[in-house]
Amino acid sequence: MQLQLLKGTFSKTEAIALISQLVEAKIKFHEQKIENDSSEEQIKMRESRIKELQQQWKALREAIAAGGGTVEAEGMIEVGIKD
């Protein structure tokens, strides 16, 4: 199953705002899981993922800022249902 979450051409400001909200939602998800996880291994994995997302987002923001006038973005979520 697929969900087309993002597809289009955006101004730099729109792209940064939209992608920022998506990244923030994912970071918030991991932060909430950290609050509820008791496993130190899971907490470390989630903290690592948050740092990775932050670093990737910083690099992408810089690339968008340095680029041309518009940003083309596409984001597909692919979901597999397991029994």
What is the model's pLDDT at position 37? 77
Within a 10 A sphere around the Cβ of 50, how many other Cβ atoms? 17
Query: Of 13, 26, 11, which Cα lies nearest the Cα of 77?
Result: 26
What is the pTM (predicted TM-score) of this model?
0.88
Q: Classify residue 71 by burial, with Cβ atoms within 10 Å: 0-12, 13-18, 19+.
A: buried
What is the model's pLDDT at position 38? 74
- Percentage of residues in the chain with pLDDT exceeding 70? 100
As a whole number of angstroms, the longest Cα–Cα distance in the chain is 46
pLDDT tens-place string over residues 33-66: 999 977 999 999 999 999 999 999 999 999 999 9
By DSSP bridging, strand 70-78 and strand 2-11 are: antiparallel
Count CA within 13 A, CB hemisphere, residue 43: 7
Query: Of 63, 57, 60, 64, which Cα lies nearest the Cα of 10?
Result: 64
